[in-house]
Amino acid sequence: MLTKRIIPCLDIKDGRTVKGVNFVALRDAGDPVELAQRYEVEGADELVFLDISATEQKRKTLADLVYRVAEKLSIPFTVGGGIAAVEDVDIMLKNGADKVSINSAAVRNPALIDELVAKFGSQCIVVAIDAKQIDGQWRVHLVGGKVATALDLFDWAKEVERRGAGEILFTSMDHDGTKNGFANTALARLSEELNIPVIASGGAGEIPHFIDTFLKGNADAALAASVFHFKEIEIKKLKQQLNSEGIPIRL
């Protein structure tokens, strides 16, 4: 079993870190630069920064904020939100991002994945997939979960892999912010059908949820927000517990 990763996520709206439930009812969670610094000290393996209103508002990710966050980090840093072209990725990487995450733009133009992989390499390109169950099927959603599509989660994930993406960040909209655990059945299927890493997102509420997503969901990494932002779970304690369960983790 490869070493698993713990990844705090900074959802950014209007320059502040926010967190909601099922993609709505957002509340303030603090200054992103201060939070990034804290997670570096606490032992996070990576950090994800998602400007959640960038696509909806049709503007670019806040490059200056990315720069200020990246200045405080030595761990890998992924940036997403409003990224839709080669020049967007170039700006983020020049401002300190190690990887970029694309979502809505990739669904609307799948060839964008090929283009970005050819230019920057698979290791730089993460495809985020937001999905929820509709009539028993996982359907991909766009624009921060506001626009439903007929696209099947598993079909899209396989296409993303074929086009060269380095990893997938799967967020279950049904589980997001509920703190009832990750979508482990869907995660296990993704992990079985794909050869690239799958990051679990949506539903973390307590340490056993992380244990389950690694052992039952076969996730390669687990991403969470509010439980870390509001200090409901300490990363150091979480990692010690994972280690005691025999899950390989960087201590």
Q: Is-catalytic flag, 130?
A: yes
Measured between alpha carbons, how far is 9 from 17 in angstroms, rounded to an integer?
9
Q: Is-catalytic flag, 135?
A: no
Catalytic residue among 88, 130, 212, 220: 130
- Helices 235-244 and 32-42, interaxial angle, to 10°? 40
Any idea which residues carry the catalytic annotation? Answer: 11, 130
